[in-house]
Amino acid sequence: MGTVREATFDVLRRHGLTTIFANPGSTEVSLLTGLPDDLRFVLALHEGSVVGVATGFALGREAPALAVLHTTAGLGNAVGAIATARVNRAPLVILVGQQDRRHLALEPFLAGRLAGLAGDYPVRVDQPVRAQDVPGAVARACHEAVTGRGPALVVVPMDDWDAEWAEDVVAAPTRVVRPAGVADADLAPLVTLLSGARAPAIVSGAGADWGSLVTLAERLGCPVFQESFGGRAGFPQDHPQYAGVLPADRARLRAVLGAYDVVLAVGAPVFRQYPYVPGPLVAPGTTVVVITDDPSEAHRSAADLAYLASPAALCTRLSALLPAPGPPDAASVVEGSAPTIGADGVGLPPLPVGGRPLRAAHVLHELALRLPADAVLVEETPSSRPDLHRLVPARNPLGFVSAAMGGLGFALPAAVGLRMALPDRPVVAVVGDGSALYGVHALWSAAHYRVGALFLVLANGRYAIMDRLADQRGGKAPWPPFTEVDLAALARSLGCPARKVDGHAELVAALEEVVPTLAAREEPLLLDVDVTVDPDFQP
């Protein structure tokens, strides 16, 4: 005999969900008060940060993370972060508090109409019919989050936690096994297609497995592009076959892929775009194949052939079935190769006399010179993203992590969660000042829980990408700059150490001091770096 709360805690332990990310409200007090010693509570100061930190934790662990939200207000505040978690393939279990079940029919204060509030972004939303169904609903949410690669929500009325638990059955399996084998007969059409290809290419995405994709790319001897707006690097960006980030509009996409007769998208949709440009995605004569374990990604991709399967298992078996490669098509590889800038800085904009004002490229170049290969890098700097792609190659699968949804407020909390999940890995968030303001409250969690991440803010005092988009339309932007904002001061007010940096010498000195300490660091640091907008930047 026990309570629903105690039975649910047993489910959480069984699934490794012993860290609870939350910003509590009154409807969650009965769950959270007097937690057992083996359950860790992590406070974030806003629900967007709650889900953002949990998302980073899930991505770092490659396992579900647990978040608790407060009825309508908490879930509403977190919807953008829930959408990001879904598009970033982060498995989350989210418990949402609700008013007391015994008078919900009267819609009392804090009662929420919660089932559809997060739209279609959750992979499942469950409102258990009885209090005694809550433990099974939470166990099912764990499985649904992994299978659906996204957030699974369970809405729990506040009185359910104290209800008596005397059930014999939890309505969910203890363990789910997901076989990943791929039959040779199913691969035969793809083997035939690639064996006869004159010039194949690969587009890698966040769902790709690095080891098997490297083997396949080397077997084919072909260039590998990174999907545009991807949530994670899909291929080592220092590999000689890496060809850069795919353009995000149809005209440039056709130009880049026009040299290839077979394009294989692995762990990526076909193809992520931003501006609408009429015309087909690829030129006539190019066959497109997609390999993904995400059903919606497979079903919406404009491909000639789609495989809904484990990319790792499929690429591994495909490499074994393909014939030995012939001589590489050197011309196509050179044409698609990613631009690079050497350690001497050739190709960078000239450094001004006195070392200021800096451009984002100067900052990223100095970071790249010092960043270790195992570093986790979280990006949220839209106006500097092309420079980051060009200057800071991802050398491990978390060497580039970004909000694939496109909304702001991801990087700071995600970096906190990633560092919590990977306490021995260097973690750096490269963030614009406009982006940082959407998640700045996460710095308190970083400081309080001694999360030794580096937050590198590229501060230009404006929404530079929006300014440039307005310029392209030939109109005047109605929004002003926000040069009064002082991110270093905001960070310090939240307990996070911070420094202002406005010149090259100060930047180099700070990075030389801090970057070598990142793997062992227990104290966060924010570097607020003044940069000027690149006049040649094109969104």
Does residue 538 lie within any of the structural domains?
no
Q: How far apart are CA 36 and CA 272, in angstroms?
A: 45
Whole-angstrom distance, CA of residue 224 vs CA of residue 245? 9
Question: How is residue 408 written in tokens?
Answer: 């702001």
Q: Are 80 and 440 in contact (CB under 8 A)?
A: no
The answer to whether the beta carbons of residues 79 and 474 sit under 8 Å apart is no
Q: Which one of 336, 370, 396 terminates a domain? A: 336
Query: Is residue 273 domain-shared with residue 243, that is, in the same domain?
Result: yes
Are the beta carbons of 124 and 144 closer than 8 angstroms?
A: yes
CA distance 439 to 280: 38
Amino acid occupying residue 481: P
Does one domain contain both 308 and 417?
no
Residue numbers of the domain that contains 104: 2-165
DSSP 10-59: HHHHHTT--EEEE---GGGHHHHTT--TTSEEEE-SSHHHHHHHHHHHHH
Two tokens, residue 35: 């937690």
Q: Which of 96, 130, 165 is the last residue of a domain?
A: 165
CATH number for the domain that contains residue 82 = 3.40.50.970
Among candidate residues 336, 368, 386, the one where a domain is terminated: 336
Is 208 within 8 Å of 268 (Cβ atoms)? yes
Taking only the tens of pLDDT, the chain with its 539 residues reads 799 999 999 999 999 999 999 999 999 999 999 999 999 999 999 999 999 999 999 999 999 999 999 999 999 999 999 999 999 999 999 999 999 999 999 999 999 999 999 999 999 999 999 999 999 999 999 999 999 999 999 999 999 999 999 877 788 888 888 888 899 999 999 999 999 999 999 999 999 999 999 999 999 999 999 999 999 999 999 999 999 999 999 999 999 999 999 999 999 999 998 888 899 999 999 999 999 999 989 999 999 999 999 999 999 999 999 987 655 554 444 344 565 555 666 578 888 888 889 999 999 999 999 999 999 999 999 989 999 999 999 999 999 999 998 889 999 999 999 999 999 999 999 999 999 999 999 999 999 999 999 999 999 988 888 888 888 888 888 989 899 999 999 999 999 999 999 999 999 999 999 999 999 999 999 999 999 987 766 66
227 with 371, same domain: the answer is: no
Find the CATH number of the domain harbouring 232.
3.40.50.1220
pTM summary value: 0.94
Q: Which amino acid, 530?
A: D
- Domain check: are 153 and 66 in the same one? yes
Give a yes or no: residue 176 inside a domain: no
Work out the end-to-end distance of the chain between its first and last CA atoms, rounded to an integer number of angstroms: 61
Q: Are residues 291 and 365 in the same domain?
A: no
Domain membership flag for residue 539: no
Residues 6+ apart with CB under 8 A from 466: 477, 479
199 and 157 within one domain: no
Helix, strand, or coil here: 94?
strand
Domain count, the chain: 3
- Which candidate, 251, 237, 175, places its Cα nearest to that of 208? 237
Judge contact between 33 and 161, C-beta under 8 A. Answer: no
